[in-house]
Each structure stands twice: as structure tokens, then as C-alpha cells.
Amino acid sequence: MYKDEKMEEILETININGPAPEAEPMRQYYFIKKARIYVKELSEKAGRPLTACTRTFGCQMNARDSEKLVGILEKVGYEVIENENADFVIFNTCTVRDNANQRVYGRLGVLNGYKRKNPHMKIALCGCMMQEPSVIEKIKESYRFVDLIFGTHNIFKFAELLNATFENRGMVIDIWQDTDKIVEDLPIERKYSFKSGVNIMFGCNNFCSYCIVPYVRGRERSRKPKDIIREIEQQVADGVVEVMLLGQNVNSYGKNLEEPMTFAQLLKEVEKIEGLERIRFMTSHPKDLSDELIEVMKNSKKICKHLHLPLQSGSTRILKAMNRVYTREQYLELAQKIRKEIPDIALTTDIIVGFPGETPEDVDATIDMVRQVKYDNAFTFIYSKRTGTPAAAMENQVPEEEVKQGFDRLLKVVQETAREQVAKYQGQIMDVLVEEINEHDGSLLTGRLSNNTLVHFPGDASLIGKIVNVSLDECHGFYYVGHMVE
Ligand code: 5AD
Ligand code: SF4
């Protein structure tokens, strides 16, 4: 990403009276410059700055994409606010489970109310949900007040599409089926000054049978290592001390590069960046987790002691139906190897309950895995039928009541195990990266251990973004209360 001054220099050189350049990212700079004029005019008419709000649903990838949206919105002159009653509102949507979709429809109803009072308001939708044709049909039919819709593959075109909403009447819709394009060097506005997500790859090739992600995020594409390193170096120069390398399946990073490279090799390069203190990554598929990666993690001073390793189910029969390509035994062996090599690592996971054909015995097998692996935390989900995935067409969908029972049984054990795991460090002094003032008590700071556990302790805002030593005095289930030590 270019620095602000460099972006302004580029914008200076662009002639918006001529046609738009074909090449990216210059084309988008052209539209940024054009949009600035529209925003300025509207703001003068209104006699106040124009405001914009982004709402993010779903995962860390979406959170990072929203920073790209905010980057553009600020560059074209919007004042970005938290309130959805704004002049431009964009929802970056998720469709991994149906409840995320329902929330978007619910919020849209509220936005419609705001728009009636502010007719110049513009409403945009983007992200995973928009890659589903049935969703587009529904919006065209029942949510006519939406001004702009685009998907996951052309988010880099946001400046261009924003312009289109100023120049067209009616709904602007631009959805791509797939892309092999990765556009670098567009504006991004980070939410936190000291930590940042960094995309290392996009898409997923795994086609787990319940999952809609491969259909809405497309095939795997890795960014070039030099672009990733350059981005992180710039972030570090700008005050970032912790990066989260993002991909749906980071362990298959680099396979499709012109000069192939493994994820472990990439990590070694990131480790060399001076001034960077912590490296996290998300998400790992167990089938691709190499010994090389374990070795690199073990020897690293910067890679955090945390691995998120989605299990999904502890029953080999269900894993097979899910197309996860590992057995219960293989997963367990891997988890034990990781715990042996890196004893203080926190293992976290994702689990789905209620996959078609799952019996209470399968849930027992999952619960047993939770006990054996001793997860430090687990995200448990009720299976959600996603149209177009193989699992949606399976006949033996599990009745809701049975799913609920299995879910509750699992959750109880997940919580027990997590409490035990988190409590292991009571009384120790550990490094904490201070993230923010505590939400409930302004005299406390909230930070994170390398293993991702939250810690609250007395301190002042000047420490935000710094790594400090904290004594972990009391364990309260999932977090610690402590005090700073020299
Ligand atoms: N239903 C429920 N959970 C799902 N996930 C993905 N697809 C579904 C689905 N159809 C969960 C998986 C994944 C996490 C991001 O979301 O556990 O790891
Ligand atoms: Fe979905 Fe499986 Fe890809 Fe994860 S690895 S995004 S669960 S298809």
C-alpha cells in the first residue's frame, strides 16, 4: 500500500476530464478523484460534512475488507462514523450461516426508515451474501431502496462503483462469478493503529460439503510474498506491532504462485521484519498442516502461541461426509504432536453440531475429542443448510430438538475444558499487548496474551499498543484480572 502522501501525488497527476485508465490501481485512483468532486458538491449543498458507516458481518477477512471500504470512503471525503443513520451506509455481509443473512435483512428494514427521512442517503451491500443469485433476486424484488450491490471478487472496484451511484439512477449491481485478479496499493484505513490483518490468500478449494465459502469466495489465489512483506513493513513503519495473516486455508499458501512457496517459508520471511513483535494467522486446515510449520512455530520468537485448528466433528464417519479428508485419529495425532512440540500453545477450534446424519453417538465422539485435545476455546455452531452445497441435498437432516440437545451437551464440555486450560497460567507473569480501555471499567486496560487469552488490569490509555508484563492474578473463566509489573 502506498503512503498517504504518495497517494495524493498520484491523484494530482490524474486527469479526470479524459477517459478512465484501464490499468489497476490507477483506474480506481481516477474514480477516487472523481468521487471527491461529487462528495464535495453534496456536502456543500447540505452545509455539513457527508457521513458514512460500514457494518461488518462475519469473519476476519470481512473485517479486513471493511478497512478497504473505509479507506476509500475517507479518501473521497466522507466522515466515517459508527451510526447507521449516515449519508452512505454499506453492509459487508456474510453468508456462512443463515442467521447472518437474516440479520442483514432485519437491518435493511431499519435503514429504509432512515432513508425516508434522508432521501440523499445511499445504501450499499457487498460481501459473501451478494454472491448468491437468490439473494440478489430477493433484494431486487423487496428492497428496491438499495443503491449499490457488489460481491467479493470486485471489492477493489469500490471507488468506481461508488461513482456509478452518483452518476446513475436506480440500483447499480456488479457481481463477478470469480477472479484471478489481485489488485494491490489501494487505500486502507486500519481500525487499530497497532495491529492489522494482512490478506495472504483469497478463496478456498476445499469444498467441505456444508460450506458455502468456496462458492462465494472463489478459488484459492495467493498474494506474492514480496507484496505481503512490503505491506507488513509499511504497517510496522506506521506503528503496527502485531499482524494476523489471513486466508481461508493458510496452510496451502503459495501452491499456485509462479515461484511456489510454503506457508512456513512465508512465516520465516515475516519473522525477519524488524519492529514486528507478534505474528498470528487464521485459519489452518488440519489436512495441510505440515511438520515444517510446527518446527517454524516452535523456533519462532514472534509467532503467537495460538493455533486455530477447526475440527468440525470428532466422528470419522461425519468427517468423511463433510469431505474434511482426515479421520478422528489423524486429527488427534496432529493435535498431540503440536502440544508435545509446543507445550504452552493454545489450541482453539470450530465445531458444527447437527450435520445431516449425525447421531447422538457422533456427538459423543466430538465431545470425547474436546476432552482429549483440551481445547483452550471452541466456537460451536449449529449446522445451517446452505443452498447449493452438497450437504443441503442430503436426506437425513437432523431434527432441531435433537441438534439443540447435542449442542448443549457439547457446549458444557467445551466450557469446562476451556476454563481448565485458561486457568493454567494463574500466578504467572506474561507479555500482554494492550488493546483498549476496558469496556465496562474505565480504570482498567484490556489486552491479550500471546495465546490469545484476554487480560484486564489497571493502567492508562497511553499504554495502548504497547507490550507490557502483567501478573495473572485471578482467572475468571475465560479471562484474567491482573496487575502490571516492571
Ligand atoms: N453451518 C454451520 N457452521 C458452518 N461453518 C461453515 N459452514 C457452516 C454451516 N453450513 C462453520 C465452520 C467453519 C466456521 C467458519 O463456520 O465451523 O470453520
Ligand atoms: Fe469452508 Fe472448508 Fe474452505 Fe473452511 S476449508 S472455508 S470450512 S470449505
- Report the residue among 248, 283, 284, 352 best suited for mutation to probe ligand 2: largest number of ligand atoms under 8 A from its CB: 248
Other CB atoms within 10 Å distance of the CB of residue 211: 21
Contact 182, 219 (CB under 8 A): no
The DSSP string of 159-209 is: HHHHHHHHH-SS-EEE--S-------------SSSSEEEEE-EE------T
| Digit-coded pLDDT (tens) for 268-283 | 999 999 999 999 999 9
In angstroms, the CA 225 to CA 151 distance is: 26
Q: Which residues line ligand 1 (CB under 6 A)?
A: 96-97, 210-211, 310, 312, 350, 352, 381, 383-384, 386
Which numbered ligand comes closest to the C-alpha of 214? 2
Q: Kindly give the distance from the C-alpha atom of residue 314 to the centroid of ligand 1, in angstroms, as a whole number.
A: 15
- In the predicted model, is pLDDT for residue 261 greater than 80? yes
- In the predicted model, is pLDDT for residue 336 greater than 70? yes
- In the predicted model, is pLDDT for residue 174 greater than 80? yes
Q: How confident is the model at residue 233 (pLDDT cuts 50, 70, 90)?
A: very high
Contact 53, 88 (CB under 8 A): yes
| Digit-coded pLDDT (tens) for 103-115 | 999 999 999 999 9
| Digit-coded pLDDT (tens) for 294-321 | 999 999 999 999 999 999 999 999 999 9
pLDDT of residue 1: 61
pLDDT of residue 412: 98
Q: Which residues line ligand 2 (CB under 6 A)?
A: 204, 206-208, 211, 213-214, 248-249, 285
Among candidates 146, 50, 42, which has minimal Cα distance to 93?
Answer: 146
- In the predicted model, is pLDDT for residue 188 greater than 70? yes
- In the predicted model, is pLDDT for residue 221 greater than 80? yes
pLDDT of residue 180: 86
Q: What percent of the chain has pLDDT over 70?
A: 100
Q: From the centroid of its chain, how far is CA 239?
A: 21
Q: Kindly give the distance from the C-alpha atom of residue 97 to the centroid of ligand 1, in angstroms, as a whole number.
A: 7
> Which phi and psi angles does 2 have, rounded to 5°?
-75, 155
What number does the ligand 2 atom closest to the CA of 207 have?
8
Q: Kindly give the distance from the C-alpha atom of residue 37 to the centroid of ligand 2, in angstroms, as a whole number.
A: 42
pLDDT of residue 341: 98
Residue 361's alpha-carbon distances to 290, 355, 364, in angstroms, are: 31, 13, 5
- In the predicted model, is pLDDT for residue 168 greater than 90? no
Mean pLDDT for the stretch of residues 12-21 = 93
> Which phi and psi angles does 406 have, rounded to 5°?
-60, -40
pLDDT of residue 4: 79
Q: Kindly give the distance from the C-alpha atom of residue 435 to the centroid of ligand 1, in angstroms, as a whole number.
A: 28
Report the DSSP beta bridge partners of residue 467: 433
| Digit-coded pLDDT (tens) for 414-467 | 999 999 999 999 999 999 999 999 999 999 999 999 999 999 999 999 999 999
Q: Kindly give the distance from the C-alpha atom of residue 110 to the centroid of ligand 1, in angstroms, as a whole number.
A: 28
pLDDT of residue 121: 96
In angstroms, the CA 237 to CA 456 distance is: 28
